[in-house]
């Protein structure tokens, strides 16, 4: 190649500088500066996701990499891994909203996650009993979460004051009207 052609290509490349990457760096730096000045520590905020849920994801990895032809002997770790992912997510959310009291009913999500992880680990084995008992466990603890959540938030914590009962009344009216219109049809 001719040296003059290479030189012209280098000059043209120098003129077409992409400033988007620098803009993202400036925006990220300003965002971190704003968080630092406001007293928010990102490691404290995201530590549950990084250290608890991250370990859960690593435990679920063998089940994720398993195939029907090559099952993994460590796939059973998907149950504890899903448990850890949910634990990290719950701690993260409760930290953001400063509502650790919600663990009074959020514990019901742990059996849901564990069962879901076991079902995921056995996804290639249709004859496994987890596929018949798993949905029942998930449904039971899911409804238990909703029931305990309503009980604790409405009656014990009273976190939203009159808004929860008003929301229940509005939903009850909606359900009554919906049933009335479906009975007429």
> Could you please report the per-residue DSSP string of 48-101?
IIIIIIHHHHHHHHHHHH--SSS--TTGGGHHHHHHHHHHHHHHHHHHHHT-GG
Tell me if 145 sits within 8 A of 109, measured CB to CB. Answer: yes
Q: Which DSSP symbol is given to 102?
A: G
Which residue's entry shows tokens 């990084």? Answer: 50
Closest CA to 101 of 117, 90, 114: 90
Alpha helix ranges (H) inside the chain? 3-15, 20-37, 42-47, 54-65, 78-97, 103-106, 109-121, 130-151, 163-184
Q: How crowded is residue 43: how many other Cβ atoms within 10 Å of its Cβ? A: 8
Query: At 125, phi and psi to the nearest 5?
Result: -110, 90
pTM for the whole thing? 0.71
Which residue's entry shows tokens 């879901």? Answer: 116
* Cα Rg of the chain (Å, integer): 26
| pLDDT for 5 | 67
Show pLDDT as tens, one digit a residue, over the chain (185 residues).
Answer: 567 766 676 776 666 656 667 788 888 899 889 988 988 888 888 999 999 999 999 999 999 999 989 989 999 999 999 999 999 999 999 998 888 999 999 999 999 999 999 999 999 999 999 999 999 999 999 999 999 998 898 888 877 777 777 888 899 999 998 887 766 65
As a whole number of Å, the end-to-end CA separation of the chain is 81
Tell me if 105 sits within 8 A of 149, measured CB to CB. Answer: yes
Q: How far apart are CA 139 and CA 41, in angstroms?
A: 38
């Amino acid at each position: 190649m001719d040296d003059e052609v290479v030189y012209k290509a280098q000059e043209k490349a120098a003129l077409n500088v992409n400033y988007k990457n620098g803009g993202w760096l400036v925006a990220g730096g300003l965002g971190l500066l704003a968080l630092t000045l406001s007293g928010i520590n990102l490691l404290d905020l995201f530590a549950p996701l990084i250290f608890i849920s991250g370990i859960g994801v690593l435990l679920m990895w063998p089940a994720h990499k398993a195939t029907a032809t090559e099952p993994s002997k460590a796939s059973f770790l998907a149950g504890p891994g899903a448990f850890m992912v949910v634990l990290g997510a719950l701690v993260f959310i409760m930290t953001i909203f400063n509502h650790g009291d919600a663990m009074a009913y959020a514990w019901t999500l742990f059996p849901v996650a564990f069962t879901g992880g076991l079902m995921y680990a056995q996804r290639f084995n249709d004859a496994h009993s987890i596929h018949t008992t798993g949905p029942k466990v998930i449904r039971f603890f899911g409804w238990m979460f909703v029931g305990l959540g309503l009980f604790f938030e409405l009656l014990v914590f009273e976190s939203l004051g009159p808004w929860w009962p008003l929301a229940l009344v509005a939903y009850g009216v909606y359900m009554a009207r919906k049933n009335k219109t479906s009975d007429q049809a």
